[in-house]
Structure 1
Amino acid sequence: MMLAGLLVLLMFDNGGACPPDINPQTVELPEVVVHHADPLVINCTALFNRRLGDACVITDEDTSLFVGNMTNVDWDIQAYCNITMNESLLRKNVTITVYKTPDSVSISPLNHSGPMVEGTEYHLLCDIKNVAPLQNLVVKWYKGNESILNVTYSDLSIKTPGDVFPNLTITPSRDDDGAQYRCEAELDLGPEGPQPPPKMISKDQIHVEVLPHQPTFPTSPTTAGSMDTIQSTVKPGCCYLEFNPPSVVVEYGDPVSVLCSTSHPKPDGMGWESTIGGVSFQPDVSSVTWTVDKLEDWTIEPMCYHSTVDGQPRKTLSVIVYKTPDSVSISPLNHAGPMVEGTEYHLVCDIKNVAPLQNLVVKWYKGNESILNVTYSHLSIKTPGDVFPNLTITPSRDDDAAQYRCEAELDLGPEGPQPPPTVTSEPLNITVHYEPRIVCPGWYSELENDLILDNVRCIITGNPPPDTVWSRNGEQVNASVPLSRTDSGLYTVSAINDQGSANATIQIIVEYAPELTCRDEYNIVENENVDITALCKVNGRPEPDIHWFKDQNQVDPPIKWTRKNNGEYKAISNNTHGKASHIVVINVFYAPEILLKNRTSLMVIAGSNVSLDCSAEGNPSPEVKWNYTVAGNINVTTEGRQRTVRITRALSANTGIYTCTATNRVGMVTRKTTVTITTEDYLKIIGIICLLVFCLLIVIAVYFCKRMKKQGSYHFNPINTNINMRALP
């Protein structure tokens, strides 16, 4: 025997960005109908949200379960689909119907053999072996090709194979001689079952042989209760007799009147034979009326006859005496109080003193939905009786507060009152207790100090109403206290009642306005790679954006910093809950650079004054120093960023290398000047040499100018014209 509980499991996530939209109603499971010897495959499909690019779209994910050959499976097999998402579990049951066609179907008369006698009641038995489930079985009776009766077992809840023996009551007439009867066993398994529904026809058909009944007739006019009869001298017939109305449906105790007439051209007379209201033989009439002021005979069969030279034909009037129930009530069988989900119960409809039972239709309703009809057409009881049809229910949570009622309707045919007389029970309201069920979103977010767990939109059902408990990391939390930003995390909500418990896990996100965490000032070395957006952190939920401004213009902070990026920056961050800003000063440090450049060598006449200047820039501002041979006639002064060495009345001792050094935390730079102290004669010689060189350069220039003038340009005039050849300038 295989396990009765089967599991189909789907596990997936929601892409991390789209809110899930999963509940048992979005899980698609087919209603499975399977032959007991066939394999079984179950598909479970879940619809959910998934991110596709920037959009959330509905997609599906499915799986299937192969059970194998069902021959040895429990007839009451159950399966369910579990959907696990973000540690949250949903479950939906699968409806499985396992069926089996009958081993055999046969028909035979009950306790009778041989020909049947006209007007006598007989019972035909349909023997159906080993069929399941019985509640889906429909037994159809046929006379020739005419459907005459359907028998159902929908009030049963038996899923295992069993035998049934429905019977058909017949009272054959001479017209039924040679008629064929058969029965069919059909399994109506609904739209999910095989089409057309599987059925089996009885292997034998009954050919009815009917012997005519020999009637008796009165020898003289009779009154009600007269017992004197004579044998008919001719073959009985009724072809000359007609009733108006043709048949009678009358409520018990009401009056009734029926006209019997004959179309025979020469009737000798007519009369009515009846236990009540009989009419003695009336000579030389072609019609006679049967009248009863208060009909109280349940089995009355009044007979009209007439006398002719051909004999005394007669005809029995069909009379149905009915009575509506004294009372109709509904109650649970052997149970009081609330019902438990998944447990089988029986509701009894108590119908008192109704007739005739074979015309009774008991209709069961759930709300306004018709769920079952029970008939008693197989009976032939005309006197009032009590019946107690029952309805088997297995309530679910959806049936809580459902109303059930039953109706007793007398279907008396077209001759009966229209609409058919009906008596309805008072409704029965049922209460169903069921274990809790929780459907929660995969995540929930709200602004801090406004987010309260009790306000999380979870659908929690259960009866009795369950108690709800919230916990985090296994510890219970107060669900009515507002949460702060540090309370974000995974929470579990539990619902508990006396039928069980259920849990759901939710990602709680506490939202808050942006906050910037930055220093007021950052020092960066030029050409250094620094991501200031990483140094200046922003917090907030939803995740805020951040923009940078310099001199009121939006900028993208560089990664590699240069001195031109130095300055004041403003960071502005926004999300749906607010705005934050912060001013950051960026100091870009770079090594010193000397601005005033002295010559690398300087010749100074002894006794004269000379100044050596040195100025540098850098960040931080560099420190400028001169290094030289100290002498009494040398003085150093500072003006702004410029440092000056002054030599007064230079001496030969002042000859040497004067070095300017600029230093800051980033680096150092130097500039050297060689100072030479010389006499005045030496300078004069140098001056004469320079003058001679200058004069030589002038002579060379004049020479080249004259040479270029001699080369010149010329024009030529045409023949027979005066030709003047001249040098063109």
Structure 2
Amino acid sequence: MFQRFFGFVYLSAVSQLVNLTGTQAECPVQLNPQRAVVRYGGSVAVNCSSSVPHKGMGWEASEGAVPMTGDSLITWRVSNLIEWDIEPFCYINHEKQCQVELPVTIYKTPDSVSISIVNHRGPMIEGKQYELQCDVHDVAPVQNLTVKWYKGQTLLNQTTFIDASKTPVNETTTLLIRPDRADDGAQYRCEAELELGAEGPQPPPKETSGRLNVELNYKPKHLNSTETIIKNDEVTLNCTVKANPAPMYTWHSEHLKEEISFSVLQASTVLLSPGNYTCTATNSLGSDSKVFIIKSTGSRPTFWTVLIFFQLLVALIIVLYDLCDFSLPISTIFIKMKTNLLWFLGLYIIGIVSGDSCSLEISPSRIVVKFGDPVSVSCVASRPVRVLGWESVIAASHTQNDLSVQWRVDSLTDWIEEPICYGVFFTAPRQCEEKLNLVLYKKPDSVSISLVNHSSPVEEGREYHLQCEVQNVAPVQYLVLRWYRGKTEVYNHSFSELSPATPVQVSSTLLIVPNRADNGAQYRCEAELQLGAEGPQPPPTVQSDVLSIAVQYPPDFRSPEEEILDISEDSEMVLDCTAEGNPPPVYIWTSSNLQEQADNQAVLRAASLGPGVYTCTASNILGKKSKQFVIKHKSKGESNKTH
């Protein structure tokens, strides 16, 4: 297995086959180049040469035919190639006449490539699903076409086509999106690229649509539902929030005597007394409120001030006591004074360091919750606190009496939730916060696998795309999509580069080139959410159904070489022409010695088969192959010699 660009995978080696009436190994001519790729209306020239004596060779074609000649190098040449179905071949009269067909690919780049939103005009709304459509007009050949979808410079998806039409066609492909507010102003485009192989133009010709700019409407959403502020001379309440259309603001508080429609309140323009101030931002899609809690500063001694003062007082008393103990030598008194001072200095430093840390601990620090399940998290302060609480869109809470506070939700269904534990302390730092690492997840509604633009069976040696679609999964950055052939994992696709927290639809594509050994192979894909050590173990997974691949391939003999059989007179002859093919091949026998037609028999059994050449041809809808049997009879003398 070899990985190919953007996560596509080759599952088998591909042999470059030329569709020949007889292969070049059997027919002594060489084509240069062996395959022609020509732009519609362009010129083409291909040489046919031979290094063996012959009775004449030439080119047969509906355009540019070359009459039979005795030359050993002839050129098929067309200056304006416009015949889509042209099938030129070079023939030679050597021991017998044979011919080699030239594969010709005539291509035409699209007249236009356009992008649009299906059944919608105007701004999109956050969280709703929309379908983008890419229309490619007048392109050929469609089986070499790849349509790629881009958001900015990021490749989102690509589609290939299996239609065998050689003439220009119109094609349409679609992409489902569910935009969030980060997509406001995003630019989508689609690109039609003709991948014509090594003989085609490099880089491959491509046409790009115009850019589709996404204008997104979304309701206001504050990052935090509450904010606590310690009052000073420069208090500012900033309620500004991003929304489209732009929101209107209203303020409510028992301390406000007039209506205010600004997004920001400043103490320099409005008297802001301690208390609660509720700001509501509203647009046509909804509203969201935030509560500002202003607390006054007090002049009473803090806990650590009292503790440090008490430490110094005790130290002073002990020092004075030691000085008054005249029974002790002076050196002993100084040693005791030094020890006591160092001990209290250590307590003082501990008090200072303790006052400088935030001292908030969330338990557990990271939590993984299934959509709709309950959740409970505690926040503990390790030093005295004025106010301890949780800022949250739902279940916000606070306490002024305890050193711990719980954030508890009976059924968590808010995808944007980012709870923050905050503390307002007596000493510096007076206010700090710790954010809870919360992962809200949802298993996919469904996982499906299909062949892109094709239904089984497939043909050996051609490229096909399998697509795995995952519906409504979150968060997608933890998703790993695994591809299996039977029980063997052949590829996995992660989506760590994506960031939306809400459920999305994603897909992955696998490129396969099946051979006859793949007939009956079973493919499936599996979506796995790898949520870390705090998540469920084993990780939650959802599997697709199994997709069985039926592969059709032309007949091939187990032993294709000519068989020469020496048979004694009157002995029974068995000619085994069995070939493997799908659909099962039909057999035709030809020989001047056959008295009656042997239709659709893989094996001839007869005692009356005379000396000569017997040709068996096995054929199905994909091709045919012949094998020769040469029968030679031994004379009685030769037969006796063998005994």
- TM-score normalised to structure 2 length: 0.47
Q: Which has the larger radius of gyration?
A: 1
Higher RCO (C-alpha under 8 Å, 6+ residues apart): 2
Whose strand proportion is higher, 1 or 2? 1
TM-score (norm 1): 0.43
